[in-house]
Chains A and B, each alone.
Chain A
Amino acid sequence: EADIYQTPRYLVIGTGKKITLECSQTMGHDKMYWYQQDPGMELHLIHYSYGVNSTEKGDLSSESTVSRIRTEHFPLTLESARPSHTSQYLCASSERGSYGYTFGSGTRLTVV
């Protein structure tokens, strides 16, 4: 049973549209992460947050932005979607001081 929720699960959208992918967790975890996974490839970290008002870019450069106004919520925004943004986006969270991670079900984004 997931304690981290991502919406939508699937999204097909036209080029140039602004989109926000939602991620919420109910575990009170301080740390949250966004990973991007291109088809057939490994996941790469694109954003992370260690708490409210803390956001950093990850190892893989991304045109997306994130915000962390509340502990439980870590949305990812693309201001102008492009076909190159077609990918799967996975959200995860971790408790401070713990090495364990909880993953969401992912959002599969297709930009046409």
Chain B
Amino acid sequence: KNEVEQSPQNLTAQEGEFITINCSYSVGISALHWLQQHPGGGIVSLFMLSSGKKKHGRLIATINIQEKHSSLHITASHPRDSAVYICAVRPYYSGGGADGLTFGKGTHLIIQP
């Protein structure tokens, strides 16, 4: 059974701080997603990774396939970054079954002004 573990579960930081959220998983994967969920519930896809590193604005995502670990970084954090950040993996199946995502429980991030 695939487990996706995120840390920390909750994080409160001051505006401008550098933020790191971690994700570990237990099975081989085709891809890893970082998602952002705002209080209204809708989900926005931030990154999809299968190797290396990606950057978009102030957001950086890295993945280490051998260690089964990924990190999401936010530089120069801002109150509008306050949201739940969710790590999700697409397990690699040899055949059959759903190819839906397996999700972590999310990291609740609050950036205070």
Contacts and interface: CB of A to CB of B under 8 A. Distances in A.
Interface string A19-46: 0000000000001010101001111110
Contacts of B43: 90, 103, 106
B30 interface: yes
A33 B40 CA distance: 20
A58 interface: yes
Nearest to A102: B45
Name B's interface SS.
strand
Interface residues of B, number: 24
Contacts of A35: 100-101, 103
Contacts of A56: 98
B61 to A, nearest CB: 14
Contact of B90 (A41, A99, A105): A99
Contact of B31 (A99, A102, A108): A99
B48 A48 contact: no
Contacts of B40: 9, 105-106
A98 B67 CA distance: 24
Nearest to A99: B31
B35 interface: yes
B100 A58 contact: yes
B22 interface: no
Nearest to B105: A42
Given A90-B43, A106-B41, A108-B41, A101 B101 contact: yes
